[in-house]
Amino acid sequence: MTIFVRDTPFDPWAELAAYQIQTLPAGKYGASAVFVGTMRDFNEGDSVRGMTLEHYPGMTEKHLDTISSEAARRWDIVDSLIIHRYGALQPNDPIVLVAVWATHRAPAFDACRYLIEELKDRAPFWKQEMLDDGTRWVQHNTPGP
């Protein structure tokens, strides 16, 4: 279970390919489930020009580690990877990558969904959007299932 919280842009597909080659044991998984979240240029009916994503260092990583451990206990998975961005973002920038590897697709899908939903619901990140007429703090995330 690996977690990165960084302030630099990343290519989720390159990160995924590199992680699989460098970290995962060949032939030990049969399923991969991946979620990539990117910044939208709209929210709550308004155009969004940019966003600043803040987090609480140490606390954020601890929370992501906790939910990764929870997923590993609940589902039979081989490994998981979470990469989350913070700092200044522009529309279409990747914000988050969640990937799960398992022997079969059901635990990979279930654990991946669990990780992104728990991250969106409980992780200590705060979003400030840049609108045409000022800024605002996002009060709540888009609801999951």
Where are the chain's structural domains?
2-137
pLDDT of residue 144: 66
Give long-range contacts, CB 8 A cutoff, 24+ apart: 62-65.
63/122, 63/123, 63/124, 64/3, 64/5, 64/119, 64/123, 65/1, 65/3
pLDDT of residue 9: 97
The answer to whether 101 touches 26, Cβ cutoff 8 Å, is: no
The β-bridge relationship of strands 2-6 and 77-85 is parallel
Q: Confidence class of residue 52 from pLDDT cuts 50, 70 and 90?
A: very high
CATH H superfamily, domain 2-137: Molybdopterin biosynthesis MoaE subunit (3.90.1170.40)
Would you say residue 23 has pLDDT above 70? Answer: yes
pLDDT of residue 134: 93
The reported pTM is 0.94
Over residues 95-117, the pLDDT tens digits come to 999 999 999 999 999 999 999 99
Over residues 69-89, the pLDDT tens digits come to 999 999 999 999 999 999 999
